[in-house]
Structure 1
Amino acid sequence: MKTTNRMILAVATAASALLVAVPASAQGRWDWAPGDHPYRLAGPGVPMLYPELRGTPRGRAFVMRNFDFNRDGYINRREADAADSAFAEVAGPDRARFNWDRYGPGRTVREEVVVVDRGGPGGGPNRGHWDRSAMRDYHFRQTPEGARMTLQEDVLFQTDSAVLRPHAIDKLQALAGYLKDNPGVRVSIDGFTDSRGTDAHNQDLSERRAESVRTAFDQLGVVRARFRVRGHGEGDPVATNATPAGMRLNRRVEVTLLGQRADSFDR
């Protein structure tokens, strides 16, 4: 009997998990109430959301109350896809005319909510309001090409890898916001390594790391054509490769805002 009960519990648990992960087939499965406070959207999945979800208070509440599966306050691509699928099934083809009050209490939500659309396209609600303080924290320095900042390897990557660490993209959020608000600014992304390994390996690794950073900007909604991406291998060291500390400084990615003044972020 105990074995049977355990089997039933296991099946029920698996079924519950499946219901969370799979888009709804019935509108009653979702929490449609707007809640008592404004919801903020952030994360790489935000650009994938329908405008009706990311651009309205009730839509943002619908996403965060139902599809932030791991409750981390960010919407990833899987969560965004699930939200879109569920909403499309209920709203039908005429999503723009969707009657939110039909599916939940008509509570008023403050319209002055700030949408932290970290992954959305330029021209959204935050246009013209990039974070000057966060840009100062990058410590841009002036170069002949423009304002340049350096991201060290251990901030972005595991050793000898071009795969971004889980939270590395957060380091680029403020810069992505600036670029979306300033669509005329072009960017150079340059990867560098230390002298360990062969020339071919270091060149390939530096190129892949620079490309990984560019891909991160892609996920954050910054247009790809604006980027110049280069790998320099172990060339152009900024410190000696004879010490671990020097090698650490040489393993880096540099991001340059071409033609921009570094001191413009200090005002």
Structure 2
Amino acid sequence: MRHLNKLFVGALLLAGLHAQAQDEDNPWAIGFGVNAVSTRFGAASEFGDQFSGFFKTDEYWNVLPSVSYLSVSRHVGDGFTFGITGSVNKIDKLVSRVPGTQDYIVTDPGDVTYYGVDGTIKYGFLQKSWFNPFVHVGGGYTWIDEQGNGTVNGGIGVNFWFSENVGLTLQSTYKHTFEDQAEANVPRHIQHFAGLTFKFGGKDTDGDGIYDKDDACPNEPGLKQFQGCPDTDGDGIPDKDDACPQEAGLQEFQGCPDKDGDGIPDKDDACPDVAGPKSLNGCPDKDGDGIADKDDKCPDVAGPKENGGCPWPDRDKDGVLDKDDLCPDVPGTKANRGCPEVTEEVVKKLNEYAKTILFNSGKATFKDETMPVLNSMLAIFKEYPQARFSIEGHTDSDGSNALNQTLSENRAAAVKTFLVTNGIKEDRLESVGFGETKPIASNKNAKGKAQNRRVEIKLIKTE
């Protein structure tokens, strides 16, 4: 035990001079050293008395003066470590309590051999410190000569790390058997351990001094301030985050340069040597029409993109641009999309025909005798292929409002369908029903009702 005390003092001196790395850096550990077994703790009947002879090493401890334990463990994160320990010792001091008293006797069982195999779960504190205390629980099996018992274990310990990989471990483990102390093959006891622990398993593939688990670029040597990643162009941005790793650039552009200073990095700038707005990918726009000069057919005159940056022409000078003018070579009106206007006389004639359209009673189908009227209207619509019209349906007051509304809509739609079926473009026509809401005569007599059952045609004018 004299040698163990010297080893402990030396460890404390070294520990004050060195810091150790976290276990995550080197997850594997192997330890070896000496162990001591004391049955005094388990023989006590009262809790307070169990510790009264804890440090009486010469009186109660069994120590094999050689390497007598070997442990292997694996750190799994969050301070937890799993491991297994094998130990051997010689028992020449077996402590038992005199029944009915608090007196203890020490007997020599004949220099028997002690073997132990134990699994351990440890939880360590102060993971980043050279001083690393821990608690542990586990279980195992212990033999004294050929007689054995299973045990449930628990205890405390501490690591003093000399360096990143080497430390001194001191540990005390209480091994509990559930059999009576006097009858058990292996009595309850405490086993103490003192030895060296070596950690290993940390990997640094690129040799830059940063472990792979902490190295954002484990296959390329790099700098510590960049988590092991290189910065080839020296612009303070690691290559992994640098969109232009071979050219020094600015942080705001992910390491890319901006030669023309227009706020657009050269790699995204369609005109990197001439300043221009971001909306045009960094290219200038002299006429301010929103089209970059390089794509503008008329760079000095503003014009729409649809016409290549040039103004739209108006050949007939009617105020309707050729692109919107259905009659670009004949002056017309905006209301008629650049074509000559439909006269009031034409609209009047259409309505004279419309008033004579006859429907089957209560339906939206035409009577046979009305077909000539519809064909006459069709001919007029075809004379003005650019004009747009609204077809309106009306009814008398007979029947419910809802039925009359539906009937008026259906009759107006029937006229529209006839015209579309016979060659009039659908986008020129609208149909709408007003039911009985817009009478032009009295609904109290048959003549007035006949006038109210009508179709009207209106010219749609565009402002």
TM-score normalised by length of structure 2:
0.24
Q: Which has the higher contact order (CA 8 A, sep 6+)?
A: 1
Structure with max Cα Rg: 2
- Structure with the larger helix share: 1
- Structure with the larger strand share: 2
